[in-house]
Amino acid sequence: MRVWKQLAVSAAVLLVGATVWVRFVPGAGETLAAIGVSHPLIDALSKPGAGGGEGGERGNGRGQGGNNAILVMVRPSGTSVVNDRLNAIGNGEAIHSVTVTPAATGNLTEILVRSGEKVAQGQVIAKLDSDDQKIAADQARLNRDSAREKVERYRNLSTARAVTAVEVRDAEIAMQTAELALKTAELDLKRRDIVAPSKGVVGIITVNVGDYVTTTTPIAVVDDRSEILVDFWVPERFANKITVGQPVTAFAIAQPGSQLDGAIHAIDNRLDQASRTLRVRARLENPEDLLRAGMSFSVTVAFDGDTYPTVDPLAIQWSSEGSYIWRVSGDKSEKVPVKIIQRNPDKVLVDAGLSEGDEIVTEGVQRLRDGGDVRIAGRERKQDTAQKVAEETK
């Protein structure tokens, strides 16, 4: 075979291959344009009737009456909000929880409450042996009374100059010392009573009558659960969005059908470096006493969120420069670069210069080029039907 025939066959094969590539491979036209191939040649390769053998129906698909606009299907863009809520799991604690310990050492002689019983602040829940302290208080009271009588007697004698003013003053000092000794003895006696430092519900009592206890021995835990504090952790990106007093909703894991309303009670002053999270504490009302310390809660916090345009997943195309979509403006196609924010099954959130309701191409994207003519499938049919209806009504 002569050289010119070989060249002709090679050129024909390349032409057929380029035609197939441009027609059926998305982004092939942009690739050819990037390497310097002219747009008229790309358009000629992408025309179904360019080879002369596929006229008929394909030629009609490109348009009627010589219309070269590409037939496409579109869907309007929308908007969606992300980062508008935070869900977390937290642990509940009583608003006020105290471990009761004795103020003195000794043997327990009496326990006055039972586990699960509600107590008031200052209520005596147990007693220590106090015989020695009672005797000491009685002795101090006698000394105080004796010193007081002596002062009164010296004051009467001082008017008759039977005692000096110095002796009267010494008697007064002795009386004051006796009064202080009495207060100390009464305080020691009072400390033999173990009292609840706050109101709440008594937990399981861990000691028995007769046990020897010290100031570090836990007698019981008293929980004030009129309100429940829930500690949970939020990601770093929410650190500047969450504020004290912000409303929250919660569900107890053990009571999934009951919604609880509360507010942010406190926010930690630093993030955990290992998890990059911030500790937050919410407060929930517990008027019916259904919640307990130690329960787990599902907490939801609402935010304003970030609004992004949304497009159909079929509209997303890719090139060497990244992702993009085709938007129809009038009867022209426009290439719009996009950055994917979040991909969902039914829509894709993108960061792009789109407005809600923009017509985004979902089918027929293979032969589009920037600024090219397009026809939207179904629109002409609707226009023809509307025109026929208008003519029939005349």
Same domain, yes or no: 252 and 107? yes
**pLDDT exceeds cutoff 90 at 265:** yes
End residue of a domain, out of 169, 191, 213: 191
Does residue 291 share a domain with residue 320? no
- For 110, the 3-state DSSP assignment is strand
- Whether residues 64 and 202 share a domain: the answer is no
**Least confident among 67-71, 143-147, 357-361, 373-377:** 67-71
> Are 182 and 141 within 8 A, CB to CB?
yes
Percent residues over pLDDT 70 in the chain: 82
Which pLDDT score is estimated for 70?
86
Higher pLDDT, 304 or 340: 340
* Residue 25 predicted with pLDDT over 50: yes
Question: What is the per-residue pLDDT across 53-96, written as a single tens digit (0 to 9) for each?
Answer: 343 334 444 444 345 788 889 999 999 888 788 899 999 999 99
**Out of 6-20, 281-295, 324-338, which region has the weakest mean confidence (pLDDT)?**
6-20
Regarding whether 296 and 260 lie in a shared domain, the answer is yes
CATH assignment of the domain containing 229: 2.40.30.170
Whether residue 134 contacts residue 193, with contact meaning beta carbons closer than 8 Å, is answered with no
Domain region containing 11? 3-68
pLDDT (average), residues 375-391: 61
The pLDDT score that the predictor gives to residue 37 is 65
Same domain for 103 and 119, yes or no, is yes
The reported pLDDT for the residue numbered 199 is 92
Average pLDDT of the residues in 292-311: 90
- One domain, residues 64 and 75: no
User: DSSP class of residue 227?
Assistant: E
**What per-residue confidence (pLDDT) applies to 29?**
65
Residue 17 and residue 58 share a domain = yes
Angle between helices 131-159 and 165-190 (to 10 degrees): 160
CB 278 within 8 A of CB 268: yes
Amino acid occupying residue 71: L
* pLDDT score, position 311: 93
| DSSP β-bridge partners for residue 213 | 106
As a dihedral over the C-alpha atoms of residue 147, residue 151, residue 152, residue 153, rounded to 10 degrees, the angle is 100
**Predicted confidence (pLDDT) at residue 144 exceeds the cutoff of 60:** yes
Q: Angle at the Cα of 183 (from 178 to 184), degrees rounded to 5?
A: 95
Q: What is the percentage of the chain residues whose pLDDT exceeds 90?
A: 53
- pLDDT over threshold 50, residue 247: yes
**Are residues 37 and 181 both part of a single domain?**
no
CB 42 within 8 A of CB 15: no
90 shares its domain with 229: yes
The packing angle between helices 3-24 and 39-46, to 10°, is 80
Domain count, the chain: 4
Tokens representing 77 are 């863009």
Q: Is the pLDDT of residue 268 over 50?
A: yes
Please give the average per-residue pLDDT across 308-325, as a whole number: 91
Looking at the DSSP bridge assignments, the partners of residue 285 are: 227
Residue-wise burial string across 369-391, b where 16 or more C-beta atoms lie within 10 A, e elsewhere: beebebbbeeeeeeeeeeeeeee
Residues 176 and 232 in one domain: no
What CATH number is attached to the domain comprising 335?
Answer: 2.40.420.20
Contact 354, 327 (CB under 8 A): yes
Q: What is the CATH number of the domain that holds 185?
A: 1.10.287.470
Separation between Cα atoms, residue 75 and residue 122, nearest integer Å? 71
Task: Tell me, yes or no, whether 206 and 288 share the same domain.
Answer: yes
Structural tokens at position 334: 């426009």
User: What residues have CB less than 8 Å from 341, skipping those under 6 apart?
Assistant: 82, 308, 349, 350, 351
Sequential DSSP letters for 303-358: ---EEEEEE-GGG-EEETTEEEEEEEETTEEEEEE-EEEEE-SS-EEEESS--TT-
Residues 381 and 345 in one domain: yes
Domain boundary among 303, 338, 361: 303
Which of 303, 323, 350 is the last residue in one of the domains? 303
pTM of the model: 0.61
Listing DSSP states for 32-100 in one string gives HHHTT--HHHHHHHH-GGGGSSS-HHHHHHH-STT--PEEEEEEE-EEEEES-EEEEEEEEEEEEEEEE
The single-letter DSSP state of residue 373 is B
Asked if the model's pLDDT at residue 338 lies above 90, the reply is yes
Contacts of 343 (CB under 8 A, 6+ apart): 313, 349
pLDDT at 280: 95
